[in-house]
C-alpha cells in the first residue's frame, strides 16, 4: 500500500481563505487611507468633494469594500495624491485591482 500524501484543503476552503486574505489587504489599505485623511484633517465628504467622488466611495475604500465602476483610475489617483500617498504605488494599484476583481 502506497503512503498517503498530504491532505490538501478542499477547494471551497482554499477559496474562502484566499478571499479573506484579499479582503484583509483591502481593509488594511483602507485604514492607511483613513489615517492619512485624518492626518490632513479632512472629512470623508471634503476628500470626496476634492477628488470628484461621492462620500460613500471614500467610505468604501476606507472599509475595504467593493467599488463601483464610477470610481475611475483617475479618481483613485487623485484621492491618493490629495492625501499625499503615491498614486502609482502598490496601495493605489491594489485598490484599482480590487475594484476590478472583487465580486460579492
**Tens-digit pLDDT profile for residues 54-101:** 999 999 999 999 898 889 999 999 999 999 999 889 999 999 999 998
pLDDT value, residue 13: 81
Q: Map out the domains of the chain as residue ranges.
A: 44-104
pLDDT value, residue 45: 97
Across 53-90, b (16+ Cβ under 10 Å) vs e yields: beeebbbbbbebbebeeebeeebbbbbbebbebebeee
Name the burial class of residue 41, with classes exposed (0-12), middle (13-18) and buried (19+) by CB atoms within 10 angstroms of its CB: exposed
Amino acid at each position: 500500500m502506497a503512503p498517503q500524501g498530504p491532505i490538501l484543503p478542499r477547494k471551497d476552503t482554499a477559496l474562502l481563505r484566499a478571499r479573506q486574505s484579499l479582503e484583509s489587504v483591502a481593509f488594511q489599505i483602507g485604514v492607511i487611507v483613513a489615517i492619512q485623511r485624518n492626518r490632513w484633517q479632512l472629512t470623508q465628504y471634503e476628500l470626496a468633494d476634492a477628488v470628484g467622488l461621492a462620500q460613500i466611495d471614500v467610505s468604501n475604500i476606507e472599509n475595504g469594500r467593493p467599488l463601483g465602476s464610477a470610481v475611475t483610475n483617475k479618481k483613485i489617483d487623485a484621492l491618493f495624491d490629495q492625501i499625499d500617498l503615491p498614486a502609482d504605488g502598490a496601495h493605489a494599484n491594489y485598490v484599482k485591482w480590487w475594484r476590478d476583481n472583487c465580486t460579492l
